[in-house]
Amino acid sequence: MSKTIKPRAIAACTLLLGLALFFVGGARPAAAQSDVQVDTALMVSVDVSNSVDTERYQLQMEGIAKALEDPSVVEAIVGGPNGGILFSMVTWADRPSIVLPWTRITNKEEAAAVAQRVRTMPHQGGEFTCMTRMLRSLNDKIVPQIPARALRVVVDVSGDGPDNCNAEEPILGVRDELLASGVTINGLPILVDTSRTPQLPKAEPGGPHPLETWYRQNVMGGPGSFVLPANGYSDFGRAIRQKFVIEISGADERHVPGTVPSIERRTGGIAQRVQAGRLVLAPEADELR
């Protein structure tokens, strides 16, 4: 006499089979499932907290757009062994928002199309500078969804202040999780008046800006990581353009101390090099000799 299998038993077997399939294949990030390769997967995260008014927001968006259209950046994009990158953008204040999902760029025309999308993004806003929450979102939601295998994964963090969100977890813990997954995090602190910002270290006479120090201690990390400050919002376009060239071309900052020949170039009349983990801007190329 045949036995009737109860519905609960069928459901249990189905659940166990689903879990088995998940752990065998489905749990792997998308980056591990694709045969398509790119040179760099670059995530650009932009501060839009209450210190960022309409003018400052536009300076950031226009700076990123012009950087993507810059010949030196396009050259870096197409000049790698795989001839292309993945590019995404996150704006963040109280909470992060994915404003540009992963987009592949392999030529000048595609870079210009992405630049136009950036240029026309509506003004995002918020109150607090919740950097820890933003990094947690990158770690949990964006990095695992990279749709191609990348030779390097880079997070570009820019902002004009430290985390002031009283996060539930320390920023160093989240940063180190990203580093453990092979991500490099570079900082672009926008140097403005932070004299009334208690979260920052005390300024030392002749030393770096306190926000630059904070970025080095709490943001920067991973192979070849560096901090490249912008001297105010009007300098953001210059800084992000130079930063993109280094990040996309994969210039190896691990050769420090010393000069990295592959990034000794003039961009907008400014020579650049990486020395002791810091990008040094020299007004004349002769200083690099």
pTM assigned to the model: 0.76
The number of folded domains in the chain is 1
- Is residue 9 domain-resident? no
CATH number, position 110: 3.40.50.410
- Is residue 191 domain-resident? yes
- Is residue 17 domain-resident? no
Q: How confident is the model at residue 34 (pLDDT cuts 50, 70, 90)?
A: low
Q: Which is more confident, 129 or 206?
A: 129
DSSP calls for 224-265: T--B--BSSGGGHHHHHHHHHHHHHHT--GGG-SS--GGG--
Cα distance between residue 130 and residue 94, in whole Å: 5
- Is residue 276 domain-resident? no
Each residue's pLDDT tens digit, 167-213:
679 999 999 999 999 999 999 999 998 877 878 877 778 889 999 99
- Is residue 270 domain-resident? no
- Is residue 239 domain-resident? yes
User: How far is Cα of residue 11 from the mean position of the Cα atoms in its chain?
Assistant: 43
Show the domain range for 39: 35-250
- Is residue 178 domain-resident? yes
Mean pLDDT of 147-174: 92
- Is residue 63 domain-resident? yes
